[in-house]
C-alpha cells in the first residue's frame, strides 16, 4: 500500500502531524505549522474537515454538554466544534502549499459532503476519526473513493472494528490502516495498551499504527518498537497559541525529538539477522578460545591446568576442551600459545 510518499512494503514509519484546531483561526499560522511540521520530521500533515453543523446540533440540552473530566468540560459540542474547525475555504490554499513544499496532506472527513469536498484536492488517504468509526455510511462512502483508509479504533468494540474493515473490503478497498487509539485527552499512560497494535495487524490482516493522545514522546516511540507503522500526533507551533488541543499537542522541538526517536528506533529494530558479518567476525577476537596456560612438553598430556578457555578468540573453540583433555602434545608448546589441532596427537 502506498500513502503519498510512504510505501508499507518498505521499512519505516509514517509520521503524521495532526493540525486539528492548532491554528488559532489564522490561515498563516496553519501554513507556518505545515512547514514547521515538515522541518520537525513529519511525513504528512492532517486536517479535519467539518463544521459545527455537520457534526452536531446547536443545542444546550444536557446531552450536548461535555462532561467527564476532559479539557472541554462545560462547553457544548457545538461550541467546541465551532471554535476548533478549520474553515473549508482554507483547504485549497493549504493543500497547494503542502504540495508545493513536498509534504503529504490529507484530512478527516466527518460527513459525505466533506468527502466530496476533499476529493477535489486528490488526497493521498482518508482518515476516519475514532468517534466516527460507528458511522458506517461515512466509512463506506470514503472507502468507495479507492484511497487508503486510516481508521482510529479508540471507542470501537471488536465487532465494530471488524465491521469497518469489512465495509472497506466490500467496496473493493483493501488499503486499510487501523490505529490503536485511546480516546481521552490527554490519555493516561496506563490506558495506552500498546500490545494491541500487533494484535490489530494480525487479527484483521491490515497495517497497524498508533494515534497518540498521551503527553510527551515516550508512547509513540514504544508503539513503533511494538510494530506501529503509522504514528499520528497532535502538533502545535507553540502551546501559548492556546486552543482546544494545545494541552496534549507537541510543539516544534518536542515533535522533532519524537520524530528523531522514532527514526532511531527503526534503526534499532533492524531485521532478524544471525549472519556473521565482518564486524561480528572482527569482534570475535575478544571472545574466549583455548590457550596453553602453562608450557607443555612434547608427549605431555593436556589437562585442565595447562589449557584453559580464555580471551582472546584466536584458538580452538571452547566446546572442544573435554575432547582435548587427556590427549598428548605432538610438540613443545609455549605458554600463551593459541591451541591448534595440529598440536594435538591424533587430531591432525
C-alpha cell at 215: 503527553
String of DSSP letters for 168-230: HHHTT---EEEEEE--SSSPPGGG--TTHHHHHHHHHTSEEEEEE-SSSSHHHHHHHHTT-SE
Residue 136 CA to residue 302 CA, distance in Å, equals: 78
Residue 84 has pLDDT above 90, yes or no: no
Count of helices and strands (H, E) across the chain:
12, 12
Cα separations in angstroms, 253 against 84, 224, 258, 270: 23, 20, 9, 26
Residue 68 — very low, low, confident or very high, per pLDDT cuts 50/70/90?
A: confident
Domains of the chain, each with CATH number or no CATH: 2-50+85-269 (3.20.20.70), 278-343 (3.90.1210.10)
Question: What pLDDT score does 184 carry?
Answer: 80
Residue 161 CA to residue 16 CA, distance in Å, equals: 22
Q: Are 171 and 145 in contact (CB under 8 A)?
A: no
For residue 113, the SS3 value is helix
β pairing state of 6-7 and 14-18 = unpaired
Question: What pLDDT score does 248 carry?
Answer: 87
pTM of the predicted model as reported, rounded to 2 decimal places = 0.87
Residue 72 — very low, low, confident or very high, per pLDDT cuts 50/70/90?
A: confident
Question: What pLDDT score does 243 carry?
Answer: 81
What is the tens place of the pLDDT at every residue in 172-207?
999 999 999 988 888 899 999 999 999 999 999 999
Q: Which helix (H) or strand (E) holds 6?
A: strand 6-7
Amino acid at each position: 500500500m502506498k500513502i503519498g510518499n510512504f510505501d508499507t512494503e518498505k521499512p519505516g514509519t509514517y509520521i503524521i502531524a495532526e493540525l486539528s484546531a492548532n491554528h488559532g483561526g489564522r490561515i498563516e499560522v496553519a501554513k507556518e505549522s505545515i512547514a514547521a511540521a515538515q522541518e520537525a520530521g513529519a511525513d504528512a500533515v492532517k486536517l479535519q474537515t467539518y463544521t459545527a453543523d455537520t457534526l452536531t446540533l446547536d443545542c444546550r440540552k444536557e446531552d450536548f454538554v461535555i462532561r467527564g473530566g476532559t479539557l472541554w468540560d462545560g462547553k457544548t459540542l457545538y461550541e467546541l466544534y465551532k471554535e476548533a474547525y478549520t474553515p473549508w475555504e482554507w483547504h485549497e490554499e493549504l493543500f497547494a502549499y503542502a504540495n508545493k513544499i513536498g509534504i503529504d496532506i490529507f484530512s478527516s472527513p466527518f460527513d459525505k459532503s466533506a468527502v466530496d469536498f476533499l476529493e477535489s484536492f486528490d488526497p493521498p488517504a482518508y482518515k476516519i476519526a475514532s468517534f466516527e468509526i460507528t458511522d458506517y455510511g461515512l466509512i463506506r462512502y470514503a472507502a468507495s473513493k479507492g484511497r487508503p483508509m486510516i481508521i482510529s479504533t479508540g471507542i470501537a468494540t471488536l465487532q465494530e472494528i471488524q465491521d469497518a474493515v469489512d465495509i472497506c473490503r466490500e467496496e473493493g478497498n483493501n488499503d486499510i490502516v487501523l490505529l490503536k487509539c485511546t480516546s481521552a485527552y490527554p490519555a493516561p499512560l496506563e490506558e495506552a495498551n500498546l500490545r494491541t497494535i500487533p494484535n490489530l495487524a494480525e487479527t484483521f490482516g491490515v497495517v497497524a499504527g498508533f494515534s497518540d493522545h498521551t503527553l510527551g514522546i515516550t508512547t509513540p516511540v514504544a508503539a513503533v518498537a511494538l510494530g506501529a507503522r503509522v504514528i499520528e500526533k497532535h502538533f502545535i507551533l507553540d502551546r501559548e497559541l492556546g486552543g482546544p488541543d494545545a494541552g496534549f499537542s507537541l510543539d516544534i522541538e518536542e515533535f522533532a525529538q519524537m520524530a528523531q526517536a522514532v527514526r532511531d528506533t527503526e534503526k534499532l529494530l533492524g531485521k532478524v539477522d544471525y549472519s556473521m558479518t565482518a564486524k561480528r567476525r572482527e569482534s570475535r577476537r575478544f571472545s574466549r578460545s583455548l590457550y596453553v596456560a602453562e608450557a607443555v612438553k612434547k608427549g605431555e598430556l593436556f589437562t585442565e591446568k595447562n589449557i584453559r578457555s580464555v580471551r582472546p578468540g584466536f584458538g580452538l573453540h571452547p566446546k572442544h576442551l573435554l575432547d582435548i583433555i587427556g590427549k598428548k602434545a605432538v610438540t613443545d608448546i609455549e605458554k600463551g600459545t593459541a591451541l591448534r589441532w595440529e598440536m594435538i596427537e591424533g587430531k591432525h
